[in-house]
Structure 1
Amino acid sequence: MNDNLDIFRIKTNDVAPRKGRILIAEPFLPGSYFNRSVIFLVAYSSKGAVGFILNKKVDVAIHDILPGFPEFDVDVYMGGPVATDSIYFIHKLGEKLPGSIHVLGDLYWGGDFEVLKQLVRNGSLNPADIRFFVGYSGWDSGQLEQEIKEDSWLVNDVDEKMVMSNLDQASWGEFVKKVGQRYTIWENFPENPAMN
């Protein structure tokens, strides 16, 4: 690789992917789903990985996506390109939601959807405690590791408060900043260098 482009090589990938960590897309990763995305891994094993894109909001209400779901003023995000006809969620409800899978700190994935709807109906769910996703991001065995070797993803730990904060496309730069000074040039680099 040209020495001038060395700034885009990921040198701190001694942080291995695992449940509860994030993947930060390198600045030029193509595709509408993964371009400048931040993915929260909710499952990781030798069989593969599952995660949700945290910083790509969709402009639609959850009750418009799911007929019969009670009106609920909460943001919905594009989780990834897999199963985009399904809704997934991470939350801070823990034991209140049977069937939830613990991910990190007080963050959980999934759970009993009927109980969730009841919590929304009776007003006992704070919108800040849940995030809904259309679809998910998934990798088969060895696929994510290969993409990391190809410098497509920077792996890092994450503050669980950040996972549940109000994120958008520009939040990618905030996550990059937290990794360290070596990657600060990523933040200001144009998405399409030819347009600079």
Structure 2
Amino acid sequence: TNQLMFAAFDWAGRDLLSLNQHVALDEATQLAEQDRSAIRAFVGYAGWTAGQLENELRQNAWVLQKPNRAALKPERLPRLWFEIMRNLGPWFKMLSAAPDDPSLN
């Protein structure tokens, strides 16, 4: 279903990022005020059948990257996806710059 959901990202060590995807509004507000967690809001639905994500990972359908503290800074959000893709190399940079409608290219 299309409902508003909040998630909290926290660093649980030098290179370990934890995600709590079931954050209530009041908890998200408290965490944001404490500046301890990176809070994100999402609308929509994403789900996988049993084993689907594992199969997609084996097929290299996902681009994986180690967590990066700078990626969670709010000021980076508007261009975050493009920046990450650009840093993966020329092919990914080209893909990230493609228009939604290729006929407009």
TM-score (norm 2): 0.58
**Residue 109 (structure 1) aligned to one of 20, 44, 49:** 20
User: Aligned equivalents of 2:73 and 2:53: distance in 1?
Assistant: 24
- Residue 86 of structure 2 corresponds to 177
Shift of 1:173: 1.6
User: Aligned equivalents of 1:115 and 1:146: distance in 2?
Assistant: 37
Please give the secondary structure, in 2, of the residue aligned with 1:155.
coil
Larger fraction in strand:
1
User: Aligned equivalents of 2:71 and 2:84: distance in 1?
Assistant: 9
Please give the secondary structure, in 2, of the residue aligned with 1:154.
coil
Identical aligned pairs, as a percentage?
21
**Residue 7 (structure 2) aligned to one of 82, 89, 95:** 89
Contact 1:147 1:153 in 2 (8 A): yes
User: Aligned equivalents of 2:53 and 2:88: distance in 1?
Assistant: 19
User: Greater CA radius of gyration, 1 or 2?
Assistant: 1
Q: For residues 12-161 of structure 1, what are the structure 2 equivalents within 5 Å?
A: 83-92=1-10, 105=16, 107-110=18-21, 113=24, 116=27, 119=30, 124-126=33-35, 129-148=38-57, 149=59, 152-161=61-70
User: Aligned equivalents of 1:171 and 1:109: distance in 2?
Assistant: 21
How many residues are paired up? 102
Root mean square deviation of aligned Cα: 3.9
Gaps of 5+ in 2: none
- Residue 74 of structure 2 corresponds to 165
Against the structure 1 CA distance between its residues 141 and 178, is the aligned structure 2 distance closer, same or farther, given a 3 Å change threshold?
farther
Against the structure 1 CA distance between its residues 127 and 134, is the aligned structure 2 distance closer, same or farther, given a 3 Å change threshold?
farther
Gaps of 5+ in 1: 1-82, 95-103
Higher relative contact order (CA 8 A, sep 6+): 1
